[in-house]
Structure formats: C-alpha cells, structure tokens
Amino acid sequence: MFASALLLAALGATPAAATADAGVASSPLRLRAIGDVMLGTTFPDGYLPPEDGTHSLDDVRDLLRDADVTFANLEGPLCDHGETRKCRPGAAPGTCYAFRSPTRYGQYLADAGVDVVSTANNHAGDFGDECRRETEATLDSLGIRWSGPPGSVATLERGGRRIGLVAFHASNATNDLNDLDAAAKLVRETKKAHDWVVVSFHGGAEGIGATRVVVGHEMFHGEDRGDLRAFAHAVVDAGADLVLGHGPHVVRGMETYRGRLIAYSMGNFATYGRFSLGGALADGMVLEVTLAADGHFVGGRVFPTHQEDKGIPHRDAEGRVLEELRTLTALDFPETGVGVSKDGELRARAPQ
C-alpha cells in the first residue's frame, strides 16, 4: 500500500486522483441520435412552420436533452440568402427539392439539446458554398459541432474523454462513403485522438420502398448511394464504435458487428413542409445508445416518434416504428440483428 502510494506520488498523482481517473476512464457514454431534420424552408415561399417554428420541437425536447451527446442529420443549410442551381426558373414545386432554413432556426436545435450534426448529405449544398460556410458559422456560434466536408471531424469532450464524429455521404463534396479506403483511413486517424468514434452516413435509396438494406450497391435516380453493409463494416474494422445511418427517409434494420451497433436508417424526425409523410415516412425515433469505455455496445432504447400536421415531431404512444424495426431487422439481419422489446429496449443477440 505504502509502496503504491510512493509510486503514485512519483508519477504526480495521489491514490484518490488515480481512482478518480480510473473512474473517468471506465465511464460509459450515453448518446441519443435522430435522423433527418429540416425544420422549414424559405425556398419556395410558404414552407415555414406555425409561429416560425418556435414550438416545433416542444414535444420531443426533453428526449433530446437527456444524453451525454445528442446527434442529428441537418438536412440542408441554415442560410438567409444565396441562390440555388438545383431548380430551374419556373420549376414546379413537386419536381425539384432545394432547402434553405433560416439561420435563426439553428437556435431551436441548440435549445433542444443538439450537440453535433452531420452536414454530409445531398441537400447541404443546395444553395452553394456561401451557404455552406454560413451554416458552419452559425453552428459554430451556437456551440454545435459539425462534420461533412472532406476531411472534417467533429470533436466533443465529455468527462475528460473525447468523442469524434465523422459524417459521410455518397459524394466527393463530402467525406465519401463510396471511397472505402479513404473512409477507413480517416476513421483510423480519428480513433488515434479520440476515446470513442461515431460514424454517420447519409446513403441508400429513398422513399417508402427503400426500407431494406440490400446486399451490394444501392442506386437512386442513377446515383450510386453506396454499399452500406460494406461501408459500415469497413469503418467498424477501422475503429468506429457506433454507426448511425440516415437518408432513406424510412427506418431500416439494425445489427451488431464486432460488438458495435449499426443503425442503417433512423428515418425522418422533423421534416417540415417539403417531405412526403405518408405511412412509415412519418415514423421516426430518438435512438439511445450506451457505449462501454472500450466502445462496445452495452444497450440502448428506441423512443418512437411520429410527425403530425406537415412535419411536427411528437412522441408516438402507439410505438409504430418499433414493429417496423423488429420486422426489418429480422428480414435483413437474421443472425446479427439486435433484439427490440415491446417497450423499445435494444439488446445484442448472443452469437449464433
């Protein structure tokens, strides 16, 4: 005992300090995550929510705040000007989709407890590089970390430990999920400087018919939206501790791979005005994941949500997304899928 104390003193630590440090090092991380978020758009006119969106997140705010870290996919820029080249003049509203949320809406995300976002998606550049930069500046001013452009990594600190978030999309304008070698290298480098690494990806086909995680590459309107199984496994092999998917606008199954959770799509969460919300397209979730100190998936829970009116998220007492998640997980991941209880608890299955 005395010798141990002398050794600790020689290292500049007391027994109490060493015990405290050991406690920090062994503490788990509790993260909550949501899928696609677009709170309203000024393009075209007439697609902002009631009361300018000040109450859009009221019913889910407590869920988002109750975590060590809360993640969201920011679907489109936060910008008050700029022009889009996606939509030709006079294009009908239903034939072209470009989003531009007011910069003031960033405060709604911060107030709701969002800590970090992905800007790696097919709408981040809807109004050009100027609006990308304005989005990043707005997020910085609010203390919301972000990842999206090539090479970008978001870093957060909790309890003396570092969390890195790397966001990918099927585009070389972002961290590119179709370049598996580069993706793995970026994750490996991120892991060297962080205790936990979370990977986000925006990929896969879209719409009510895109609920399955196919084997191989997914195409959508002629665009390669990635081989998502290969991508997710590659980044876990490289050091990712959690993989969070979004983009199809519907929920997809979940699996564990090498003790890490992969959620292939969390669905729409808060997508006002310009998104189709029929049937399962209105169902989403707040996903809670607890990671052990070494990154392994300890457990989690799905809090079901449902969008009402034109896209206001509410807790879903019917729990519709849970049955969808159970069914899709069983279909696509019969050996590796997570168990989903009736109350939304997630658990890794024993290896078959």
Query: Which domain CATH number covers 58?
Result: 3.60.21.10
Dihedral sign for Cα atoms in the order 106, 111, 115, 120:
negative
Tokens 């677009």 map to which residue? 38
What the block records as the tokens of 335 is: 């050996």
Residue 24 lies in a domain: no
Q: Report residue 19's pLDDT band, with 50, 70 and 90 as the boundaries.
A: very low
- The amino acid sitting at 66 is D
Alpha-carbon span 244 to 221, nearest angstrom? 23
Mean pLDDT of 230-250: 98
What the block records as the tokens of 76 is: 């489109």
Q: What is the pLDDT of residue 87?
A: 79
- List C-alpha distances in Å: 35 to 29, 30, 118, 218, 282: 19, 17, 10, 19, 12
**Kind and range of the H or E element at 74?**
strand 69-74
Phi, psi of 92 (to 5 degrees): -65, 145
Residue 23 lies in a domain: no
Alpha-carbon span 8 to 2, nearest angstrom? 10
Alpha-carbon span 174 to 133, nearest angstrom? 14
Residue 322 lies in a domain: yes
Alpha-carbon span 219 to 214, nearest angstrom? 11
Residue 45 lies in a domain: yes
Alpha-carbon span 326 to 74, nearest angstrom? 26
| C-alpha of 93 from chain center | 28
What is the extent of the structural domain holding 45? 32-347
Q: What is the pLDDT of residue 185?
A: 98
Residue 1 lies in a domain: no
Dihedral sign for Cα atoms in the order 100, 106, 109, 111:
negative
Residue 27 lies in a domain: no
- Count of domains forming the chain: 1
pTM of the model as a whole: 0.92
How big is the CA angle at 82 (ends 78 and 84), to the nearest 5 degrees?
95
Residue 17 lies in a domain: no
What the block records as the tokens of 348 is: 């890794």
What would the pLDDT profile of 142-162 be if each residue is shown by its tens digit?
999 999 999 999 999 999 999
Share of the chain above pLDDT 90, in %: 86
Asked whether residue 3 carries a pLDDT value surpassing 90, the answer given is no
What the block records as the tokens of 251 is: 């929920």
Residue 289 lies in a domain: yes
